[in-house]
Amino acid sequence: MRFDFTDLRLFLAVADAGSITHGAADVGLSLAAASDRLREMEASGKVLLLERGRRGVVLTEAGEALSHHAREILNQAALMRGELSLFAKGIRATIRIVANTAAIVETLPTRLSPWLAAHSQVDVEFRERQSHEIARSVAAGFADIGVLSDAATNEELLLKPFAVSKLSVVSAQSHWLATAKEVRFAQIGEEYFVGLERGALQDHIDAQANRLAIKLRYRIRLRTLESICSAAGAGVGIAIVPETVARRCKRTSGLSVTPLADTWARRHLSVCIAASRDVPPIVKDLFDHLARA
């Protein structure tokens, strides 16, 4: 039987998520491509690796054995690449970082840039996820470093403080929110919103609305935080964005910024690596840099 690294990463992602759909998303494959790979793995080995059911998948005994060896293989391969990249200019290393929206748009690029400038042999692969997905991804080895909310941390991760992120509501200066010192989410549930097309922040906001049984009304969904700030400032609707983005956009547009008072709108972010596996030296160096900065 012949399995490549993509096969092994996919299999572990599916095993940890308990779902082919979610596992495929974790490794950046379509559901159709992931299903084909899994069937080919079983066919080439002439063994059943997954029991498929309505509620997801579970590993067979053979699948459990493959899961154990796949983790060892991928971990050793990552260690090899990381250590060799310290000595050979021709060998490049890629560090996989998963982070929530707040980290990506507020702090992480600034923290990361000087380190990358000093390590020309290293590339970084970014993915945006919600914090609970980040914890799972790093613990399972699908990402090297994560930046996530403290609320999603667990004992499988080694964490260090990273930043504090706050969410604010942006609106036109003529909106009633412009005179409010702060506002709670429940107070704005009946307003019309401008939202993001997709992303971890949008999922986080929608989850809080569902928790309070609020059905948010979106007039339009846009691709970037800057574009939804612009629309909110023009009076299209209100929007929830990271405070640093709101303050930055306020300098160039007629925008009102109102702090969101809910506890979920203020998050302590941590940078993390897996606690139970050996980490390549280059990954540990970046982890320490992000924590120090």
SS3 1: coil
Q: What is the pLDDT of residues 36-68, one digit of tens each?
A: 999 999 888 888 999 988 888 988 988 888 888
**Spatial CB neighbours of 286, under 8 Å, sequence gap ≥ 6:** 95, 112, 115, 119, 122, 145
Q: What is the pLDDT of residues 208-262, one digit of tens each?
A: 999 999 999 999 999 899 999 999 999 999 999 999 999 989 988 779 999 999 9
Whether the pLDDT of residue 293 is over 90: the answer is no
Distance (Å, whole) CA 102 – CA 269: 9
Lowest mean pLDDT among 81-85, 100-104, 273-277: 81-85
**Domains of the chain, earliest start first:** 5-83 (1.10.10.10), 90-163+267-292 (3.40.190.10), 165-265 (3.40.190.10)
Q: Tokens representing 88?
A: 């050979």
Which string of b and e fits 93-116 if b means at least 16 CB within 10 Å? bebbbbbbbbbbbbbbeebbeebe
Distance (Å, whole) CA 139 – CA 162: 18
Phi, psi dihedrals of residue 94, rounded to the nearest 5°: -120, 125
Q: What is the pLDDT of residues 226-240, one digit of tens each?
A: 999 999 999 999 999
Which pLDDT score is estimated for 143?
Answer: 87
- How high is the mean pLDDT of the chain? 88
Whether the pLDDT of residue 28 is over 70: the answer is yes
Q: Which residue has the higher pLDDT, 31 or 151?
A: 31
Which pLDDT score is estimated for 275?
Answer: 87
Distance (Å, whole) CA 183 – CA 260: 5
Phi, psi dihedrals of residue 265, rounded to the nearest 5°: -85, -5
| Residue 191 pLDDT class (50, 70, 90 cuts) | very high
pTM for this one?
A: 0.67
The full 3-state SS of 49-65, as one line of letters, equals: CEEEECCEEEECHHHHH
Q: What share of the chain is helix, strand, coil (3-state, %, to 5)?
A: 50, 25, 25
Percent of the chain exceeding pLDDT 90 equals: 48
Which pLDDT score is estimated for 86?
Answer: 58
Which pLDDT score is estimated for 87?
Answer: 60
The CA distances from residue 278 to 7, 85, 123, in Å, are: 22, 16, 20
The full 3-state SS of 174-241, as one line of letters, equals: CCHHHHCCCECHHHHCCCEEEEECCCHHHHHHHHHHHHCCCCCEEEEEECCHHHHHHHHHCCCCEEEE
Whether the pLDDT of residue 149 is over 60: the answer is yes
**Helical spans, DSSP H, in 96-148:** 101-102, 108-118, 131-140
